[in-house]
């Protein structure tokens, strides 16, 4: 049976794989000079993948016998996950804006801006952003529950030590 830490690591690696796939295959349909939104989306995906890989591999590479560093790493991971969720939400909003809400909506359809393959890729990009967001939220919930459960148990142990004569 996998531990909670290993489950989080596997979910982080899966998230990194989805982000790399999104940035490399589906998020690269227009030349860089014509779409800065695409550059932002690729940067968000690459950054998310990099951070997810770092934290996922730390499960097997880094181990501490002391509870304090582990707790601090959990808090840092929670902060990073919140930032990644915000960044990926921004990326999803830019995809939705370029697909469905365009300043040119009055003049022409956004389907005319992209080929059918490009439109399909942009739709897949939006779906992969949603999947990434869901995975990050699940990981955030698991890590938050773990971090606060451990901090509550540590504080209750310290309280019981203070009660002793």
Residue 82 pLDDT greater than 90, yes or no: yes
Average pLDDT over residues 142-148: 91
What gap in Å lies between CA 44 and CA 141, rounded to an integer? Answer: 21
The model scores a pTM over 0.85 = no
What gap in Å lies between CA 18 and CA 22, rounded to an integer? Answer: 6
Is 162 among the domain residues? no
Is 163 among the domain residues? no
What gap in Å lies between CA 94 and CA 107, rounded to an integer? Answer: 20
Contacts of 88 (CB under 8 A, 6+ apart): 44, 48, 129, 132, 133, 136
Q: 101 vs 163, which has greater pLDDT?
A: 101
pLDDT, position 67: 76
Is 164 among the domain residues? no
**Domain around 66:** 4-155
- The total of structural domains in the chain comes to 1
Is 160 among the domain residues? no
Is 165 among the domain residues? no
Q: Kindly report the number of other CB atoms within 10 A of residue 118's CB atom.
A: 14
Residue 44 near residue 90 (C-beta atoms within 8 A): yes
């Amino acid at each position: 049976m996998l531990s909670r830490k290993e489950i989080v690591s596997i979910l982080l690696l899966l998230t990194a794989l989805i982000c790399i796939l999104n940035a490399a295959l589906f998020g690269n349909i227009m030349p860089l000079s014509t779409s800065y939104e695409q550059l932002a989306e690729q940067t968000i995906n690459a950054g998310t993948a990099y951070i997810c890989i770092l934290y996922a591999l730390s499960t097997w590479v880094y181990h501490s016998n002391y509870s304090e560093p582990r707790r601090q790493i959990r808090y840092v991971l929670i902060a990073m996950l919140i930032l990644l969720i915000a960044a990926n939400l921004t990326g999803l909003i830019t995809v939705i804006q370029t697909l469905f809400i365009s300043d040119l909506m009055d003049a022409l359809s956004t389907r005319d801006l992209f080929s059918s393959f490009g439109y399909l890729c942009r739709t897949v990009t939006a779906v992969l952003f949603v999947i990434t967001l869901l995975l990050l939220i699940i990981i955030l919930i698991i890590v938050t529950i773990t971090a606060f459960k451990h901090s509550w148990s540590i504080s209750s142990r310290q309280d019981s030590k203070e009660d002793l004569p």
